[in-house]
Structure 1
Amino acid sequence: MKARFWGPLAPLTLGLAVVVFGVDQLHKYWMLDVYGIIEKAPVRITSFFDLVMVWNTGVSYGLFSTHLQEWLVALTLAIVILLWIWACGASRAIAAAALGMVIGGALGNASDRLTRGAVADFFHFHYQSFSWYVFNVADIAIVVGVALLMYESVVIGDRGNRRGKA
């Protein structure tokens, strides 16, 4: 099977990847350079949500922390290429959109690793002794994208391919 690097839904994937990347980078710029979260953190928004400043040197949610950020960037780029090939062969807009969100989020975090040496995370949910991982806009896009891919695979599944078949 030959890999395709462009397909009918590629513009949707590319467009969403660019939007997610842009919003993520703009938000990080605003939080770090305009709002000054480093000096102000933590900022209590509600009894269960704070704005904080965490530099993530790990993979997901700080797991597998490493000082070898270049390796994580290289791994991210390899995965992004595979996701792009998948998106170029996508037959449904929901899959193409979901992959665009994952690609944009992954590239947003990779950009942080290259320019800042770690990923900037800001959002922290907590309740009493429970504390959720600290995350950012790119992470939200990745999670939503993966959830949409699961929905497309599990709920929609072959239903779309069975139309018109007896």
Structure 2
Amino acid sequence: MPKQNKPNALIWLLLSIAVIAIDQWSKNWVLTSLPEFTAIPVIDGFWNWYRTYNTGAAFSFLSDAGGWQKYLFTVLAFGISGLLGWWLARTARGDWRTALPYSLVIGGALGNVIDRLVHGKVIDFIQWYWRDHYWPAFNIADSAIVAGAIGIALFGLLGGKRAAGSAQQG
């Protein structure tokens, strides 16, 4: 019996490209339209545009490390994106629970890599707050990474329960 080729989920990389495009477009808008370190209210009491920069990772991790962290985070982003891309190639095209979050993480990671390589730092501009409590500023790429990571965890847990349930029935 001849081996049939199953369509893989690499088509989902188009979503990664869309995330990168939207992320870079938004950061270009920020660089040309927003003043640095000045809050511009979007929803008073909750949301500002606030142009700032991050030389580190999430929550400014290693932001004051002296510059070497740019290369570490670039290598990590390429490595994680490559691994997720390899997994996409082995994922069925219709398995959106796997492909969607992987694609979001890839797009977000590469969007921030572009910033690190072009600007030496990541451009952040979305600032959420409540009274005197401010969430660290973030961007579209960060949002895609977080949504993808939540999807990987959530669908992984749900998928594990579903697989365990069908194994018990079988």
TM-score interval w.r.t. the shorter chain?
A: 0.7 to 0.9
Instruction: Give the letter for the 1:60 counterpart.
Output: A
Aligned pairs, number? 158
Please tell me the root mean square deviation across aligned C-alpha atoms, in Å: 2.2
How far residue 60 of structure 1 moved from its aligned partner, in angstroms, is: 1.2
Q: Please list the CA deviations of residues 27-64 of structure 1 after superposition, one character each: whole Å capped at 9, or x if unmatched.
A: 1111212xx21258210122121111111000112111
Instruction: Name the amino acid aligned to 2:80.
Output: I
**AA of the residue aligned to 2:105:** V
Tell me if the contact between 2:127 and 2:137 (Cα under 8 Å) persists in the aligned partners: yes
1:132 aligns with 135
Question: How far apart, CA to CA, are the structure 1 residues paired with 2:157 and 2:34?
Answer: 40
Cα offset, 1:160, TM superposition: 5.3
Which one has a bigger Cα radius of gyration? 2
| Cα distance in 2, alignment partners of residues 113 and 49 from structure 1 | 25
Alpha-carbon contact 2:30-2:51 (below 8 Å) kept: no
Which residue number in structure 1 is paired with residue 61 of structure 2?
63
Q: Is the 8 A contact 1:125 1:134 kept in 2?
A: yes
Mapped to 1, the partners of 2:7 and 2:35 lie a distance apart of 43
Find the aligned partners of 1:151 and 1:108 in 2 and give their Cα distance.
23
Moved over 6 A (4+): none
The aligned residue for residue 116 of structure 1 is: 119
For 1:63 and 1:7, locate their aligned partners in 2 and report how far apart those are by CA, in whole Å: 39
Structure 1 segment 137-156 matched on structure 2, within 5 A: 137-156=140-159
Where structure 2 has 5 or more consecutive residues not aligned to the other structure, the ranges are: 1-5
2:10 equivalent in structure 1: 10
Q: For residues 90 and 146 of structure 1, what CA distance do their matches in structure 2 show?
A: 17
What is the TM-score when the length of structure 1 is the normalising length?
Answer: 0.86
